Amino acid sequence: MFRFKTLVVLIAVVAMILPACQPAAPKAGLKCAPNCEYKDLVVGFLQTGSEGGWRAANTASFKETADQLGLKLKFYDSQNDLAKQVAGFNQFIQDPEVNVIVLAALETTGWEDVLKQAKDAGKIVVIEDRRIDASEDLYATYIGSDFAEEGRKSADEMCKLLEGMEGKNVWELVGNVGSSAAKDRGQGFREKMGACGIEVTKSQTANWSITEGKQVTEAWLKETQDVQGIFAQNDEMGLGAIEALKEAGLTPGVDVKILSVDATAGAFKAMLAGDLNVTVECNPLLAPQVYEAALKAANGETLPKWVPSQEGVFRSDDPNLQTVTDGRKY
């Protein structure tokens, strides 16, 4: 009897100790490490929505590159709704097939819990496009633009456009306010605008949209026409402002200088027409870098926590504007 009891206790103790002695269970879907290939990756991509030309190019980059590399992409459209995006994140955590989650975050905050759950489930998380405020050990890397630098470049360019003018009143059309793109572009612009005496006399969200960009500008124009420049945090809002100025009998690009961010096809068309003065580039073709980073992380490499994109500035007075426009992919 004593022997039998001792045996039972022994078996129980061994059963408790044994898992701790074994090598850690392979992370979900990453049994291939350190020799994983693109075909081993199943990527769940949480896109913000489809708010404009930049976003369309970003989505196309992810879909086309996945096909080229031979990896499986599960695409989730968050429809610019944070609750939907969080639900989609949870869906990918539960999905046993998904081993990489890519997030284009609608808001900077509120990600710690799902990121912890993703980590516990052994998923690799790569943040793309929009930075987030969360502990860096919860994701592999962030690949995206330096939005603050885009804001600083925008202020420098606006200073050049307004040079010699007595008044330097600038209206700011802001993106979706909780996003890193909107916060950081606004902050970067303010860091540099004082250098030439710019004053932001009006600032309001137009949610990245042409329609809202137009509506907000229309409402402002009814209050005053004392404006020398418009800083639109993306091209669509700038295009909306252009429509509003024209309908109010003003000449955009001349009476009011217009600068927007993204450098999409719509912006180049507006620059060729003389309506838009400058567009500051924000590169949406991020998928090759994101997938490469995910593969490296799958194979156990430690990555830098931020890989900023290389971006330029395009001006309507560039003599090569047509050639530059013809060479653009989006």
Residues in touch with ligand AHR (CB under 6 A): 51-52, 54-55, 129-130, 181, 208, 234, 261-262, 282
Cβ proximity to ligand AHR: between 50 and 68 the closer is 50
Phi, psi of 213 (to 5 degrees): -60, -40
Residues in contact with 224: Cβ distance below 8 Å, sequence separation at least 6, in sequence order: none
Closest approach, Cβ 195 to ligand AHR, in A, equals 24
Cβ proximity to ligand AHR: between 234 and 289 the closer is 234
Closest approach, Cβ 84 to ligand AHR, in A, equals 16
User: Could you give the CA distance from residue 180 to residue 105 in angstroms, rounded to a whole number?
Assistant: 9
Closest approach, Cβ 293 to ligand AHR, in A, equals 18
Quick count: other Cβ atoms within 10 Å of Cβ 97? 11
Strands 229-232 and 141-144: unpaired
Q: Tell me the three state secondary structure of residue 112.
A: helix
Cβ proximity to ligand AHR: between 51 and 107 the closer is 51
Strand-pair partners of 124: 100
Closest approach, Cβ 154 to ligand AHR, in A, equals 12
Cβ proximity to ligand AHR: between 168 and 185 the closer is 185
Give residue 208's identity as a one-letter amino acid code: W
Strands 313-315 and 278-281: antiparallel
User: Could you give the CA distance from residue 230 to residue 253 in angstroms, rounded to a whole number?
Assistant: 10
Cβ proximity to ligand AHR: between 38 and 89 the closer is 89
From 115, 149, 143, 111, select the one nearest 129 (Cα to Cα).
Answer: 143
Looking at residue 259, the DSSP 8-state letter turns out to be E
Residue nearest to ligand AHR (CB): 234
Closest approach, Cβ 271 to ligand AHR, in A, equals 17
Closest approach, Cβ 16 to ligand AHR, in A, equals 49
Cβ proximity to ligand AHR: between 173 and 245 the closer is 173
